[in-house]
Structure 1
Amino acid sequence: MLPHCQHYVTDNYRYEVWDGDCGGTVDTLLFLRESLPDGFKVCHPKGVTSAQAVRVVVNYLQSHPQDLHQPFRILAMTALSQAWPCK
């Protein structure tokens, strides 16, 4: 999913199907942010955009290449919760 998430935020929003899967997954996780399991709840700053959240996920994926075989949804939840943990 890394190349699709990168394309989502860098190609002037001309999406391919998998790019939309990346953006849709991240949007869903932001929507469910406080309903996620303990350890994965997300308390992002007010006004965070989908593109900003996808950039957080891209940075996480690039920093953890050894984990890219894991399910994308788990990686995205981890990235967002580590970037914006609930206190």
Structure 2
Amino acid sequence: MPELKTEELEKRLVELMGADAPAHAAQDVNIALQAAENMKSKGYSFQMEDLCRRSMDDCMWRAMFSKDGVDFFVDDARAAVAVCTAIVTALDNS
């Protein structure tokens, strides 16, 4: 999925999730994790992985949703963006 600006990403979340899309999810990881919980209630499993866990300087997160044996994952330096983009990817391709 091409990189989206935060505002565009949040707009896509609302388009795809409707009332289940929390406001400002792409800007705050705690809110993004609420959106991930909403996805879990729709039958998706969720995993979040720190891809640079041994680095004090680098940051890269992988957010992955799985459903029916299909994985949808996104890597991003911003945890909230990784989660939200993975949600959009999963809903766009399910």
What TM-score do you get using the length of structure 1 for normalisation? 0.32
What TM-score do you get using the length of structure 2 for normalisation? 0.30
Higher helix share: 1
Higher strand share: 2
Asked which structure has the greater RCO (Cα within 8 Å, sep 6+), the reply is 1
